[in-house]
Chains A and B, each alone.
Chain A
Amino acid sequence: MGRDCCSSGAQELHVLAVDDSHVDRKVIEKLLKISCCKVTAVESGRRALQYLGLDGDKSSVGFDELKVNLIMTDYSMPGMTGYELLKEIKGSSRLRGIPVVIMSSENMLARIDRCMEEGAEEFLVKPVKLSDVKRLTNFILRGDEANQMGSSKRKLWDDPCSWFTTSCL
């Protein structure tokens, strides 16, 4: 299995993973590390907001240093749900550009629709697979490249074949 990542100096994504389950945090962390991502894993929506500097208190890390490229959050969490976290992030002018992916063990259409309407990039049904994470991170990376080239962002997953072509524009 190709574990040789970051060898060509490719950009390393920083992913913030949010899940109240210790087991799931450990697994998602591993999936992301294998996919060449830097991972920060937290156990609640509150903690996530703290980390992102959105809860009023100044975060201990300077904003530039903690640049987060992707947020993956569980839906069902005590206190603040993933959906509520999504709304907070999309409601922030500073953070709304960060893609948010919702993970849930329940495959409920109403739930999925609600999250997508609120601006979620994707809704993944648990247990999350390595193929899901790889597809996601590849998409984010290519989205970043496209942005740097000055082109507009596209939803590549509408056309899975385009993931494998280099001429995506």
Chain B
Amino acid sequence: MERNLHKQLGNMKKSLFDQGYLDEQFIQLEELQDEANPNFVEEVVTLYYRDSARLIQNIEQTLENNPLDFAKLDNYMHQFKGSSCSIGAKKLKNECTQFREHCKTGNGDGCKRTFQQLKKEYAALKKKLEHYFQVP
């Protein structure tokens, strides 16, 4: 039974990496986990989703302004990118970079488009990680 669970976990993790959701940083975090802190990665990820929910909301609201405040958007996205990077969220990190490029060129439509994509990736990763952490 134990072996099947390990295999399940291994497959899930592999698919998260193969599909480009996560990168090496996630492994680095897992290596910091020990008996004293067996749920360290889950705690970090939970913290990430809690903090980034606020950022996402701020970005959403700021995108409704007219004209768009690109400096403000870039600032929010810089923070979001930083945290995403810290948990190894590869796809999200790339979406953030693209968003910031649009901010630099003042491309409002580009920002909005990229943000929609980003939200989808964000939600998808959240679901996958919730599933991942459920396996004991």
Q: Is the CB of A127 within 8 A of B32?
A: no
Chain A proximity mask over B6-21: 1 for CB below 8 Å, otherwise 0: 0000000000000000
Q: Which of A20, A34, A126, A130 contacts B86 (CB 8 A)?
A: A126
Task: Scan residues 72-93 of chain B and give those whose CB is less than 8 A from a CB of chain A.
Answer: 78-79, 81-83, 85-88
Q: Does B64 contact A (CB under 8 A)?
A: no
Q: Is the CB of B51 within 8 A of A27?
A: no
Task: Scan residues 82-114 of chain B and give those whose CB is less than 8 A from a CB of chain A.
Answer: 82-83, 85-88
Q: Which residues of A contact B44 (CB under 8 A)?
A: 23, 26-27
Q: Is the CB of A21 within 8 A of B32?
A: no
Bound CA span A27–B51, Å: 14
A-B contact pairs, 15 of them (CB 8 A): A21-B51, A21-B83, A22-B47, A23-B44, A24-B86, A27-B29, A27-B32, A30-B32, A34-B32, A76-B78, A76-B82, A105-B81, A105-B85, A126-B86, A127-B88
Task: Scan residues 27-67 of chain B and give those whose CB is less than 8 A from a CB of chain A.
Answer: 28-29, 31-32, 34, 37, 40, 43-44, 47-48, 51
Q: Does B117 contact A (CB under 8 A)?
A: no
Given contacts A3-B34, A22-B47, A126-B85, 4 further A-B contacts (CB under 8 A): A23-B48, A26-B44, A27-B32, A30-B32
